Amino acid sequence: MDIVQLKEIKKTLKSNFQNIELKPDIKYASVLVVIYNSNPLVLMTKKASHLNIHAGEIAFPGGKWETGDIDLLDTALRETREEIDLDVKRDDVVGQLKSVNTLNSGFVITPYVAVLENLPPLNDNHEVESILRIPLTPFLKTLSPDLDPHHQSIKEMYTLKFEDHIVWGASARILKQIHDLFSKNNLV
């Protein structure tokens, strides 16, 4: 099977950035989907078990918008630096996906995509239990509808599997967007 090249990924995920007007009654967050390597990997984290929300979940680096952030992209870049010591430049961010809502914590999450050749050594902070480097195309092929009976009232629920990790919720819905764009362009 052919390996999807980073230039194909950049072209497929390239998009214009939408300016999101932040409203005071909404909780905003953003994440950075980092894809890298000649045999493309996607970077995710396992959240620390001591966190008040999303403890132990598999997620993208990112977090809550703070008043000092210029915009939601700035939030994603800042949080990525804080969580895993990865300094991504705005120029390396190729696109923005549709925002998704978290069901339990009530955040509106805006995902941004960065495509990089390689990564420097990474260091996780106290919010991160571990950093996961996941082969992108095989991972996307594990996408399936979430059949948990507790989620039947929610239309857009999916899961993905990597080793002994299950990715679900907002992270899975973000990956579903990438899966759909890859499928449309015959990359998966």
In this prediction, residue 105 carries a pLDDT of: 78
65: left (phi over 0), alpha (psi -120 to 50) or beta: beta
Render each residue's pLDDT in the chain as its tens digit; 188 residues: 356 799 999 999 999 999 888 888 899 999 999 999 999 999 999 987 776 665 678 999 999 999 999 999 999 999 999 999 999 999 999 999 999 988 777 889 999 999 999 999 998 888 888 999 999 999 999 888 865 555 554 556 888 989 988 898 899 999 999 999 999 988 88
> Which tokens go with 20?
């999101």
Residue for token pair 């899966």: 179
Confirm whether 103 is domain-assigned.
yes
> Which tokens go with 180?
């759909």
DSSP bridge partners of 32: 112
Residue length of the chain: 188
* SS3 (DSSP) at 24: coil
Confirm whether 61 is domain-assigned.
yes
In this prediction, residue 94 carries a pLDDT of: 97
Confirm whether 187 is domain-assigned.
no
DSSP states along 90-148? GGGEEEE---EE-TTT-EEEEEEEEEES--------TTEEEEEEEEHHHHHTT-EE---
Q: Yes or no: say if 113 and 97 are a contact pair by the CB < 8 Å rule.
A: yes
In this prediction, residue 61 carries a pLDDT of: 96
**Residue 116 is part of which domain span?**
6-18+26-135
Confirm whether 73 is domain-assigned.
yes
Quote the number of domains for the chain.
1
Confirm whether 106 is domain-assigned.
yes
Q: How many Å apart are CA 54 and CA 169, to the nearest integer?
A: 10
In this prediction, residue 188 carries a pLDDT of: 81
> Which tokens go with 108?
């509106």
Number of other CB atoms surrounding residue 156 within 10 Å: 13
CATH number at residue 57: 3.90.79.10
Look up the pTM and report it: 0.91
